[in-house]
Amino acid sequence: MTLQEAKFEYLLRLGDSSLIIGHRLSEWCGHGPILEEDIALINIALDFVGNATSLLTYAGQVESKGRDEDALAFMRGEREYRNLLITEQPNGDYANTIARQFLFDTYMFFLYEELKNSKDETIAAIAVKTHKEITYHLRHTSEWMLRLGDGTAESHERLQNGLNDLWMFTSEMFEMDEVDAFLIKEGIVPDLNKIKANWEKRVFEVLAEATLQIPTTTFKQKGSKEGKHSEHLGFLLAEMQYVHRAYPRAKW
Partner 1 sequence: MSTVYSQQQIFKLLSEIPDPEIPVINIIELGILREVKFVDEVCVVVITPTYTGCPAMKVIEDDIKIKLKEIGIDKVKVELVLTPAWTTDWISDVAKKKLRAYGIAPPDHSSVDKKVLLGKARDLKCPLCGSIHTEMISQFGSTACKALYRCLDCKEPFDYFKCL
Asked whether the beta carbons of 3 and 182 are under 8 A apart, the reply is yes
From residue 113, give the alpha-carbon distance in Å to each of 110, 139, 197, 213, 234. Answer: 5, 15, 14, 27, 31
> What are the DSSP E strand ranges found in the chain?
none
Which of these, 89, 227, 65, lies nearest to 163 by C-alpha position? 89
- State the minimum distance, in angstroms, from the CB of residue 128 to partner 1: 5
Establish if 23 lies at the interface with partner 1 (CB under 8 A): no
- The one among 67, 76, 129, 225 contacting partner 1 by CB under 8 A: 129
Establish if 181 lies at the interface with partner 1 (CB under 8 A): no
Count interface residues toward partner 1 (CB under 8 A).
30
Q: Is 203 helix (H, G, I), strand (E, B) or coil?
A: helix
- The one among 62, 72, 126, 237 contacting partner 1 by CB under 8 A: 126
Which of these, 248, 149, 129, lies nearest to 205 by C-alpha position? 149
- State the minimum distance, in angstroms, from the CB of residue 137 to partner 1: 9
Whichever of 37 and 114 has its CB closer to partner 1, that residue is 37
Which residues bind to partner 1, rule: CB under 8 A?
Answer: 36-37, 39-40, 43-44, 46-51, 53-54, 121, 124-126, 128-130, 132-133, 135-136, 138-140, 142-143
